[in-house]
Chain A
Amino acid sequence: MKRAEHWGTRVGLVLAVAGNAVGLGNFLRFPAQAAQNGGGAFLIPYLVCFLLMGLPLLWVEWAIGRHGGQFGHHSAPGMLDKLGTAHWLKYVGVFGLFTNLCIAAYYIYIESWALAYVFHSFVGTFRDIAPTAFFNNFVGADHESIFYMPREALFWFLLTLALNSFILSRGLARGIEIAALIGMPLLVLFGIILAIRALTLPMDSPGIVQSPLVGLNFVWEPDLGGLGNPKTWLAAAGQVFFTLSVGMGSIHCYASYLRKNQDIAANAMAAGWTNEFVEVILGSSIILPIATAYLGLEAVQQATAGGSGFSLGFLALPTLFNNWGWFAPLAGAFWFGLLFFAAITSSLAMGQPILAFLEDEYDWPRVKAAIAFGVCSLFLGLVCVWLYPGGAFDEFDFWTGTFSLVVFALCEAIIFNWIFGVDRAWEEITRGADLKIPQLFRFVIHYVTPAFLLVVFVGSLISPESGNWVAAFHSLLSGNGWPFAADSVIGKIFHVGSDYRWFDDAGHATRDLVMDGTRVLLSLVFFGIAWLVYKAWKKKEGAR
């Protein structure tokens, strides 16, 4: 009989869960979303969604996790199986493994970029080479073939993957918890140093074109007119959703190592609010003020089009740091070090459910499970590295990092409320609580949160061109059909806006071929995991 694992300290657990939530999105996606959705107008819907959807969903996931842990299940299939008597419940839990495995594959690839950039910042690479040229060369995007394998990127990817597998193999208290106890304080320290430097940049220093406070003002100037725009609300709900790492199965997994009567109410709040501290306070005070100071607000708005701060974070900032003299290499190392710590504490949380599944349901030893996670991530990650220029990376991100999360969160909210039952659900959330949760949240968890999730789900399914819902309804009512956005789920499935073909006139493979191939691969992974779940339960039934 295996000895049950538990967390070493409560602070360690909370920092591990906060580290899971704090990721690249806090520093890259949040400021870009705020910049693209009316600045201060974005913050009000964001905070409303955080209170009505984010926090309740955190309680739901912690409760499902702790409940499943009492039955020896530390991954989503077993946890969901214990929420009711129906056989299909465990297969909903497949999402909780599928998303973690597939997101880890490409997320660890980005994590490895951050680690590589720490090194290159230290050695002064960006003084000689423009970051855009460096990046394109690094990932092989400047190569003619879409099947090019970039050597340096591969080296850093393997190194980062090995580091993740090693930490995971050390176990909960000696691996993940120690990584969180070191990584999270350092991340906050680096963030505070950079934020102070960003907000105190003197106007007479070389290269400055605008006050950094103009960037800060843009995020915080309230524009109440934007509150009537559905696009702003959907963007805010989406950001809250992704920043808290809900709908993945990783929070469930961490919570499952708690004992039956240990608090989850206060733990969930501490982790959730820590994420908000890092996102809203630090996330809004670094990238936008610095970029605005050196590039101007207009350029910043252009660079964040599409809602990603990636180009500012990886392509613009390394050059801008060059204006900081002796501090430039340190600033670069702090910035990418911060991104690396944010990323690794998240990728470890993606690995743990996979290990837990293999340990619980197949009785694998931890080291063997960690190696299996590393090998699977390597295989899937290599597809991302190899086919990055062909768009495989974007496909992974969309289907696993966006769509699957919403589907799983919606399913778990419905199952927890209506199959497990709201009375038992409320008892599970409040048992052993170190704080009294207002009764109002019982209503919110039962009705409001699932309704929010349904809106986000439908929104992602049919979001219209340019996010213009009013124009889309006009188009529909006037008989011109619904103008699906290319990045809506329906738009993606039917390749809206693309001249769809697998080979170009010269007979070369196109991005469409890579995208379709990636979808087939992801489907195989999903059904492969479902088969493993089936086999595990079959084995258990046979043993009874």
Chain B
Amino acid sequence: MTTSAWIMLGITWAVISFFTLYFFAIILRRKGNKDT
């Protein structure tokens, strides 16, 4: 793997993992189908 490939992979994986966890955290914090 070249350095630029590692950088591209690292940034993309980090961004996607961050947003996936971030939005799941919102959902788990406000679980309710019944709270609205």
Cβ-defined contact, A266 with B26, below 8 A: yes
> Given A10-B33, A274-B20, A277-B17, is A43 in contact with B27 using a C-beta cutoff of 8 Å?
no
Cβ-defined contact, A269 with B19, below 8 A: yes
Flag A213-231 by CB within 8 Å of B: 1 or 0 each: 1001100111000000000
Q: Is A432 an interface residue (CB 8 A)?
A: yes
Cβ-defined contact, A220 with B23, below 8 A: no
> Given A221-B4, A263-B36, is A270 in contact with B17 using a C-beta cutoff of 8 Å?
no
Cβ-defined contact, A217 with B33, below 8 A: no
Report which of A6, A221, A276 forms a contact with B33, defined as CB distance below 8 A. Answer: A6
A13, A213, A263, A270 — most chain B CB neighbours (10 Å)? A270
Q: Find the B residue at minimum CB distance from A259.
A: B36
Report which of A8, A220, A222, A267 forms a contact with B27, defined as CB distance below 8 A. Answer: A267
Cβ-defined contact, A43 with B12, below 8 A: yes
Smallest Cβ distance from A30 to chain B, in angstroms?
13
Chain A residues, Cβ within 8 Å of B8: 40, 43, 220-222
Interface size on B, residues (CB 8 A): 23
How many angstroms from the CA of A270 to the CA of B31 in the assembled complex?
13
How many angstroms from the CA of A262 to the CA of B33 in the assembled complex?
7
Q: Is A152 an interface residue (CB 8 A)?
A: no
Contact residues, B6-28 vs A (CB, 8 A) = 6, 8-9, 12-13, 16-17, 19-20, 23-24, 26-28
Q: Is A280 an interface residue (CB 8 A)?
A: yes
How many angstroms from the CA of A6 to the CA of B13 in the assembled complex?
34
Cβ-defined contact, B23 with A270, below 8 A: yes
Chain B residues, Cβ within 8 Å of A14: 24, 27
Q: Find the A residue at minimum CB distance from B30.
A: A434
Q: Find the B residue at minimum CB distance from A257.
A: B33
Cβ-defined contact, A9 with B4, below 8 A: no
Report which of B1, B28, B33, B36 forms a contact with A7, defined as CB distance below 8 A. Answer: B33
Chain A residues, Cβ within 8 Å of B12: 43, 47, 220, 280
Cβ-defined contact, A9 with B33, below 8 A: yes
How many angstroms from the CA of A526 to the CA of B34 in the assembled complex?
38
Chain B residues, Cβ within 8 Å of A216: 1, 5, 9
How many angstroms from the CA of A262 to the CA of B9 in the assembled complex?
36
Q: Find the B residue at minimum CB distance from A214.
A: B1
Smallest Cβ distance from B9 to chain A, in angstroms?
4
Q: Is A520 an interface residue (CB 8 A)?
A: no
Smallest Cβ distance from A47 to chain B, in angstroms?
7
How many angstroms from the CA of A216 to the CA of B9 in the assembled complex?
9
Chain B residues, Cβ within 8 Å of A434: 26-27, 30
Q: Find the B residue at minimum CB distance from A39.
A: B5
Report which of A11, A222, A280 forms a contact with B31, defined as CB distance below 8 A. Answer: A11
Flag A413-437 by CB within 8 Å of B: 1 or 0 each: 0000000000000000000101100
17 additional A-B residue pairs with CB within 8 Å, beyond A217-B1, A273-B23 = A10-B27, A10-B32, A40-B5, A216-B5, A217-B5, A220-B5, A221-B5, A222-B4, A258-B33, A266-B27, A270-B20, A274-B24, A276-B16, A276-B20, A277-B17, A280-B12, A280-B16
| A contacts, CB < 8 Å to B | 6-11, 13-14, 40, 43, 47, 213, 216-217, 220-222, 258-259, 261-263, 266-267, 269-270, 273-274, 276-277, 280-281, 432, 434-435
Write 8 A-B pairs (CB below 8 A) sorted by A numbering.
A10-B31, A11-B28, A40-B8, A221-B5, A222-B4, A222-B8, A280-B12, A435-B23
